[in-house]
Amino acid sequence: MKKILLIGTGGTIASVESEQGLTPGLSPEEMVGRLEFRFQCDVDCIVSLNLDSTNIYPNHWVKLATMIHDYYDNYDGFVITHGTDTMAYTAAALDSMLMHLDKPVVLTGSQIPMTLVDSDGEQNLMDAVHYAADGLAGVYIVFNSRVIKGTRAMKMRTKSKHAFESVNYPYVAYVDNTRITYHSKPLDAERGRRLELETRLCTDVFVLKLYPGINREIFRFISTNYKGVIIECFGSGGIPFYEVDLAEEVKALIDAGVVVVLTTQCLEEGIDIDLYEVGRKIDRNQVVISQDLNTEALLAKLMIYLGKYVNMQEVIDNIHLDIEKESDDSLFSCDISL
Which residues participate in catalysis according to the annotation? 12
Q: Residue 278 is inside which H or E element, if any?
A: helix 277-280
| 63 vs 55: CA distance, rounded Å | 14
AA letter at 222? I
Q: What CA–CA distance (Å, rounded) separates 205 from 326?
A: 21
Instruction: Give the pairing of strands 104-108 and 77-81.
Output: parallel
Burial class (CB in 10 A: 0-12, 13-18, 19+), 201: buried
Give percent helix, percent strand, percent coil of the chain, each to the nearest 5: 35, 25, 45
Count how many residues are written for the chain.
338
Classify strands 138-143 and 146-149 as parallel, antiparallel or unpaired: antiparallel
> Which residues on adjacent β-strands are paired with residue 6?
45, 79
